[in-house]
Amino acid sequence: MDERGFRNASLDSRPSSEASATKVLLVGDSFVFGAANHFDDIWPELLANRFKQEGLDVEVINAGVPGFDTSQQVLYLERLFETYQPDIVLLTFLPNDLFANRPIQNVDGQDQARGDARAVVQTGGSKKSSFQSVTLLKRMMMGTDAAYRRLYLMTPRKAFFENPPSEKMETKADTTKDILMRAKQFTSQHGADFVVLSVPQLFQVLQKASGEVVPDVNPDLPDQMFEEFSSENEIDWIATLPVLAQNYVENKAELYYRFDGHLNAEGNRVVADIAYDALEPLVSNYSN
C-alpha cells in the first residue's frame, strides 16, 4: 500500500503525467482494496494487466478503502477527482451498502457521511459482517452450500433479499439512489463516465446457482431495485451475479472465502473479466 493508502504496485505516489493514458478510478470497499488476497490476485490489478495485454493505454487507480459505504466512496471520489482527473469512475456496490448508507449532510459547510469521510484512508469505514462472526460449530456447518444458505437466512441479512422488500429496505434504496445520483451528476459535470459494478455476497451466488426457489427470498433483488433507476438516469449498472453464479454451476470452483466472505483468487478473476468487458468500450472511445 502506498503513502496515499492506495493498493497499487505500478503507480507511484504522484498523479500520472502520461497525458495519453485513459484513467480509470476505482472506488469501493475491501472488495476493491482486495482484502484477504495477494496483490497479484486482486481484480483491479488483473484488470490493469488485461488492459496492458490488450494494448490499451490505461491507468487503473485502486482507491478502495475497507469498510467504506457508498456515501463515503462518493465523497472520496469527489476529493480525489481534481488530483487524478479520471476519465472513468467505477464505483463498486454491495448489498450491505444499503443498510450502511446514510444521507450525505452538509455540516458547517462541509459535506459529511457516516463516519466522517474526511478521514478517508486513515480511518476506513464501519461496515461489519456479523454473519462471518459465528461459533466453531456454525463454521463447521458452513462447509456445504445448503447449510451456508440456511444459516444466512437465519441472520438479519436476509432482509437484503426479502421479497417484497420491507419499507426500511425501500427507504434505504432511495437513500442509495440519491447518493448515486450525486456521483452521476458530479462525474458528468466533470466530463467523466460513471459506472457501478454490483458485486454480490456469497449467499446470492450459492442461492442463484442452486436453482432452489425460496418463496420470500430473491437473490437478484438488490440489482432489480436499481435497474430501472439506473436506466432512467443513464448509469451503467453492471450486475456480476449472473456470471458468478453461472461460473459456479459450470466449474464447481469456489469463488469466495467461506469464512470472511471476500472474493478469492478465482472470484477476483471472474470479476476482473466482467469489469474489463464493461469498461473496454468506454476506454476505446477515449483511445480513438
Digit-coded pLDDT (tens) for 159-205: 999 999 999 999 999 999 999 999 999 999 999 999 999 999 999 99
Higher pLDDT, 259 or 108: 259
Tell me what pLDDT residue 15 has: 45
Higher pLDDT, 17 or 187: 187
Tell me what pLDDT residue 130 has: 53
Query: Sorting pLDDT into bands at 50, 70 and 90, what band is 124?
Result: very low
β-strands 88-93, 236-239 pairing? unpaired
Tell me what pLDDT residue 14 has: 41
The C-alpha cell of 69 is what? 459505504
Tell me what pLDDT residue 7 has: 78
Q: How far apart are CA 155 and CA 183, in angstroms?
A: 31
Q: How large is the average pLDDT for residues 126-150? A: 66
Share of the chain above pLDDT 90, in %: 75
For the segment 96-106, what is each residue's pLDDT rounded down to a tens digit? 999 899 999 87
Q: How large is the average pLDDT for residues 20-40? A: 95
Q: Calculate helix-pair angle for 167-189, 221-232, nearest 10 degrees.
A: 40
Query: Sorting pLDDT into bands at 50, 70 and 90, what band is 18?
Result: low
CB 47 within 8 A of CB 268: no
For the segment 144-168, what is each residue's pLDDT rounded down to a tens digit? 999 999 989 998 999 999 999 999 9
Q: How far apart are CA 131 and CA 18, in angstroms?
A: 44
Mean pLDDT of the chain: 88
Q: How far apart are CA 3 and CA 35, in angstroms?
A: 18
Tell me what pLDDT residue 118 has: 44
Tell me what pLDDT residue 134 has: 52
Q: How large is the average pLDDT for residues 250-275? A: 96
Query: Sorting pLDDT into bands at 50, 70 and 90, what band is 140?
Result: low
Tell me what pLDDT residue 260 has: 87
Q: How far apart are CA 204 and CA 110, in angstroms?
A: 37
Tell me what pLDDT residue 153 has: 92
Q: How far apart are CA 116 and CA 67, in angstroms?
A: 13
**pTM as predicted:** 0.89
